[in-house]
Each structure stands twice: as C-alpha cells, then as structure tokens.
Amino acid sequence: MPEAVDRLSQAWREFGDNECGTYSPLYAAICRSVADDPELLALGAAAPPAGQQPNVLLAAVHYLLLGGLTHPLAEVYAGRADPGRAPALFRDLCLAQRQSVGQLLATRHTQTNEPGRAAPLAVGLALAAGLVGEPVGLLDAGCSAGLNLLIDQYRFAYGSEPGPGPADSPVTIACAVRGPAPIPARPPKVAARLGIDRSPVDVTRPEDAQWLLACVWPDTGRLPRTAAAIELARRHPPAMIAGDMVADLDAALDTFEPSLPVVVTTTSACGYLSLEQRHAFLAVLARRARHRPLAWLSLEQAGVVDVVAPPPAMQPGATVLGLVTFEAGTAVGRALAQCNAHGASMDWAGPAIPTASRPAPAS
C-alpha cells in the first residue's frame, strides 16, 4: 500500500500541474492538497485501478454534489464561495462520505465526453471530407455518450467570427484560434454515424447523465454547455454499439455502405490502449482503406498516435489534432493543431488553407 500511495501522490501532483494548471485553478489546488494527504491517497489506493485516476475521485465528489448532497463545497463549485476553501472542504466531504465515495471509485471510471472537443474536430472533419469525399460516414471509436457524433448539430464560434453549424442549435461551442486555421463555411454532410465503446453512456439514464456531468470540471464554465449537449443527445440519440474499439473495429466499419467514405474519430481514447493495441487499430484502418475512402481524425495526447509527429513546443496537458490518410497503402499522418485538452483553444500547425475555406482571425 505505501508504494501505491507514493505512486498516487505523484499522479495527483502531475495531474494538478499538467492537466489542471491555470485552466482549472480550483482543481489544481485540490490536486496539490490531495497529493500531500495520506488519508485521501489511501482512499484512492483502495479502489480498483480504473478508479485510482485523479479524475475519478474528483468526479465522485462532484457527482454527490450534483445529486443534491448538502455540503459547503457545493457553494464553492457554484462560484458563490471562497475557492480557497476548496481543498479543506473536498477533504471533509471525502472523509464524511467515505462509503459513498468508495462505492463510486469501485464502480465508475473516467467518462469524459467533452463536446468542446468538437470545435477542433469540426475543422479537421472538413479537411478529411475534402480528401476522402462527401458525404461521409462518421465512426467515433471510444465514443462514451456519443456527443461528438452530433458535431454537425452544434454551432461553432472561432475567435470573434461565427463558424459553421445551425444558427438555432441549443449548443454553441467557442474556440480561441491562433494561426490560419481553415474554418469551414459549413459542416460536411454526414450520411451515417455510429459510436463504439466498451460501455456506451446512455444519457436517458439519469444516473449516467449525472456521472457524465460530474466529470466536467466545475470552474471551467463547461457545465451548461455539456448539459445542453446531453439534452440534444436525448432528443436525437446517435447510434452506438457496445464493443472493443480494436477487436470490433471491423464489425463497426461493416455497418457503413461499402461505397461511403468514412472518417474514424478518436478523442482521448487511444491513450487507454496499449502500444500493441494502437498499432492493431491502425493496421485495421490501413487494411480497410484499401477498399474504401477512409481517414482517421484524432485528438490525443502527443505521442499517442505515433504516425502523427506533434507540433513543436507542446504545452503541458495539450492534445494534438491529427489527421491520418492512407496513400498507396501507407499511413500518412499530419499534425493539424495543438489544442486545449477540452477544445477551448487551437493553435493551427497544419497544411495550407483550402480555397473553399476561410481563415479564422488570430486571437
């Protein structure tokens, strides 16, 4: 147990510094406090491996508050009380609700389905459609609740300029852009869409929708947008199947019409795969690309998709928007942008702007 506690202490410290940083000062302060708290670290170390990630304990506490638990931490999370009290109140809640927290750590895992990531994906999807053809089939591997399958039903704003998407969409996603990103005038036409996940999140189940919201960091302003995206998914549920994103990838691709170009997307999903599994995933795509137009659009941590060389000077916690196409049987990877992990910003590093697109203003 002492070794597990030491390991978790380092994980919490790195998560607070690299993932939360200045983006979520609230969670950064909590993470630093937990990293030095043997009792909370022991609580985490008693959980199964999937429940030991910092995100899961953070979400477990948020889940209890969203469920109506009366505790002063709720006022801090709502922005109505001193955030400096957050670490002490977080500790108090964890220890007072040890049984409930432990049960959540034992039964839940990270299920971050952040619709903000759709902002960089929308730019990459337009580029991919320009290469493989349109309309496209959209396959989200590791889809969670499938919120990013609704990408053409969101309204986007890049910098001060409106982006593509229905003007009356209940979900508007803003993304700060630096560099000449080729913002599309409209979203590509999506003829068919499918998500695959080991445990797809059913947003019609209140407890699953609540867990999805609990995985949202409370001081980043993303809760209302995620709630709106969940409601949109309730009204227009995307097709999803339960399955392994590697072993069942062929079966998922078989659901699309043989002549339909397909863009496969992954968002912070491949990082949970072993190196062998990642190579197997790419091998399936390369083989299937011999028989149909196909591209892989990824939003993953640097180095996870090894055929996509990351842009220089990657910021801590940033992700790489990558596009992989298959040319003469060879996978060709392009790094399009460096992005905030939740899609709040995008530093363009990709190819020349297509004539059909217009650049975003620099911010």
Q: Quote the pLDDT of residue 338.
A: 96
Question: Taking Cα atoms as reference points, which of 334, 337, 357 lies closest to residue 347?
Answer: 337
Q: Quote the pLDDT of residue 356.
A: 37
Calculate mean pLDDT across residues 69-95.
97
pLDDT band at 358 (very low <50, low <70, confident <90, very high): very low
For 140-190, what is each residue's pLDDT tens digit? 999 999 999 999 999 999 987 778 999 999 999 999 999 999 999 999 999
Strands (DSSP E) along 225-359, which ranges? 240-242, 262-267, 294-301, 319-327, 330-339, 345-348, 358-359
Q: Quote the pLDDT of residue 351.
A: 63
Q: Structure pTM?
A: 0.86
Q: Is the pLDDT of residue 123 over 60?
A: yes
Adjacent-strand bridge partners of 178: 347
When mean pLDDT is compared across 89-98, 123-132, 354-363, the lowest value belongs to 354-363
Q: Quote the pLDDT of residue 113.
A: 84
For 227-286, what is each residue's pLDDT tens digit? 999 999 999 999 999 999 999 999 999 999 999 999 999 999 998 899 999 999 999 999
Calculate mean pLDDT across residues 109-131.
91
Can you give the length of the chain in residues? 363
For 276-299, what is each residue's pLDDT tens digit? 999 999 999 999 999 999 999 999
Q: Is the pLDDT of residue 19 over 90?
A: no
Question: Taking Cα atoms as reference points, which of 11, 14, 28, 21 lies closest to residue 86?
Answer: 28
Q: How confident is the prediction for the chain on average, in pLDDT?
A: 92
Q: Quote the pLDDT of residue 70.
A: 97
pLDDT band at 23 (very low <50, low <70, confident <90, very high): confident
Q: Is the pLDDT of residue 357 over 60?
A: no
Question: Taking Cα atoms as reference points, which of 216, 223, 280 lies closest to residue 61?
Answer: 216
Query: Can you tell me the distance from the alpha carbon of 59 to that of 9, in angstroms, rounded to the nearest whole number?
Result: 18
